[in-house]
Amino acid sequence: MKYAEFDRYTDKNGVLRNKLGATSDDELDDFEHYDKATFAKTLAYYLGEINILHAFREGNGRTQREFIIQFALKFNYRLHFQNVTQQEMIRASERSSLYVDNTLFEKIIFDRLEFIK
């Protein structure tokens, strides 16, 4: 696993900062209209990007998952990671960072995402 390759870090970090660093809730409104599958794919994308920004193992996964959980709650989704194995998360993280493929993160999230409104 490589840490924050320059081209991936600079380009994608700008997207991440612009989307998640929005200055008002209005800038994030489009997330409210996503169906479960689209929202899971979006969360998986951001989880993959956050992992690239800080790809260290100890403690980082817990922090990333908590961030994604809180982000989901903002849009009335509950997300549970309790029954995800460490191996599942490692495989998803490796696939995301090595191949820019977030499908394993997407499956993990989709299977555990519940609309609560």
40-52 confidence digits (pLDDT tens) = 999 999 899 888 8
Q: Give the residue carrying structure tokens 């980082």.
A: 60
**pLDDT attached to residue 9:** 47
Are 108 and 92 in contact by the 8 Å Cβ rule? The answer is yes
> What's this model's pTM, rounded to 2 decimal places?
0.77
Task: Tell me the CATH class for 6-115.
Answer: mainly alpha
Give the end-to-end CA distance of the chain in Å, rounded to a whole number.
Answer: 38
Q: Could you give the CA distance from residue 7 to residue 68 in angstroms, rounded to a whole number? A: 24
**pLDDT attached to residue 51:** 86
Q: How confident is the model at residue 34 (pLDDT cuts 50, 70, 90)?
A: confident
